[in-house]
Amino acid sequence: MRLLVTGGCGFIGTNFIQGVLTAHPDWVVVNLDRLTYAGNRHNLLALEREQAGRADPNYVFVHGDIGDRALVLSLLEEHRLEAVVNFAAESHVDRSINDPAPFLSTNVMGAQNLLECARLRGVKRFVQISTDEVYGSLGAYGTFNESTPLSPNSPYSASKASADLVCRAYRETYGLPVIITRCSNNYGPYQFPEKLIPLMFLKAKNGDPLPVYGQGTNVRDWIWVGDHCKGVELALTRGAPGQVYNFGGAAERANLDVIRAILKALGKPESLITFVKDRPGHDQRYAMDFSKAARELDFAPSLDFETGLAQTLNWYRDNSAWLESVQSGAYRRFMDEWYGERA
């Protein structure tokens, strides 16, 4: 298969590209990434170097924006791409609270540009990577299924829900073969240290206070990133156009439990836990019903949370240079501003 993967230098995109090219060495991946603060070309540099100079390389990196019509059209044509997998996004809820504009421009308008290019070039599959956050928040009971009404609460989730609706319109109006996947919170290697698990690892390692929003009772359904990537590959190869598939990890954990587990694994004291001002509009609980993907795609999470968390913490321990290198000045400024206000 010949794929345009967008946002492949981010957390999930990096894991996806590594996974599919290992499983399918005959596939071709063109990775279009704008390299925002969250994108790191070095993640896949070894692959890029290995392929450089080949007549028909199976991995090509292109620095650019998903909103660039001429660029996307030319890539689809030049590389004879059959499918698009759209990971590119502004992905952090806290940043979307600070400034929603880039979320609408990339997550909605950028996605619409990709859909339009895919339509113009007759792409055979378009997989839109969405999130459980489009469904809003759950109380103590129940799960989200694919028919749960969209009810996003943050600018981030509103932008992702908007993109889902535009995808639906492209399917209904133009017959574009769009598939939407909605997944719960991922964890694993290469996650940017603004998200809960790598952030808490970093803080704990340095002996800094761990900022817990509200009471720390919010629940997320954690999935190993490799399992999400496998689900996306299944949706791409076996999914039915027009369908939505939920993926989850069957691992609901309260934030405080996750944080305590990280402190324990690193041998750090619980006194580092610091309760800070809550995130506005903070969703209480997410939990996924992924029985449709299990039934129709043969999807099943492979790793339990405790094993996956141990592997993740080991990865961050072994890759402290990576962690250090992604913390740019812009990152540090955002962190100071955001957490400064919450203290």
At closest approach, how far in Å is the CB of 191 from ligand NAD? 7
Known catalytic residue at 132: yes
Region binding ligand NAD by CB under 6 A among candidate stretches 179-187, 278-286, 297-305, 315-323: 179-187
Which of ligand NAD, ligand TYD, none sits in contact with 211, Cβ below 5 to 8 A by type? ligand TYD
Known catalytic residue at 286: no
DSSP state of 221: E
Which of ligand NAD, ligand TYD, none sits in contact with 88, Cβ below 5 to 8 A by type? ligand NAD
At closest approach, how far in Å is the CB of 295 from ligand NAD? 21
Task: Identify the active-site residue in 90, 132, 227, 252.
Answer: 132
**DSSP conformation letters of 294-333:** HHHH-----S-HHHHHHHHHHHHHHTHHHHHHT--HHHHH
Known catalytic residue at 116: no
CA dist., res. 282 & res. 302, Å (int): 29
Return the amino acid letter for 162: S
- CB closer to ligand TYD out of 182 and 195: 195
Region binding ligand TYD by CB under 6 A among candidate stretches 52-60, 138-146, 194-202, 243-251: 194-202
User: Number of residues in contact with ligand NAD, rule: CB under 6 A?
Assistant: 30
- Measured from the Cβ of residue 238, the count of other Cβ atoms closer than 10 Å reads 14
Q: Which residues contact 18 (CB under 8 A, 6 or more apart)?
A: 44, 47
Of residues 203 through 222, those in contact with ligand TYD by CB under 6 A are 211-213, 218, 220
Task: Identify the active-site residue in 33, 94, 133, 164.
Answer: 133
Q: Does 196 bind ligand TYD (CB under 6 A)?
A: yes
Q: How far from 1 is each of 5, 75, 123, 250, CA to CA, in Å?
A: 12, 15, 12, 31
Of residues 51 through 110, those in contact with ligand NAD by CB under 6 A are 65-67, 87-89, 91, 106, 110
CA dist., res. 223 & res. 251, Å (int): 7
DSSP state of 219: E
Q: How far from 241 is each of 228, 230, 231, 292, CA to CA, in Å?
A: 19, 18, 15, 14
3-state class (DSSP) for residue 275: strand
- CB closer to ligand TYD out of 178 and 219: 219
CA dist., res. 290 & res. 32, Å (int): 29
Residues in contact with ligand NAD by CB under 6 A are 6-7, 9-13, 32-36, 38-39, 65-67, 87-89, 91, 106, 110, 129, 131, 160, 183, 185-186, 192
* Residues tagged active-site: 132-133, 156
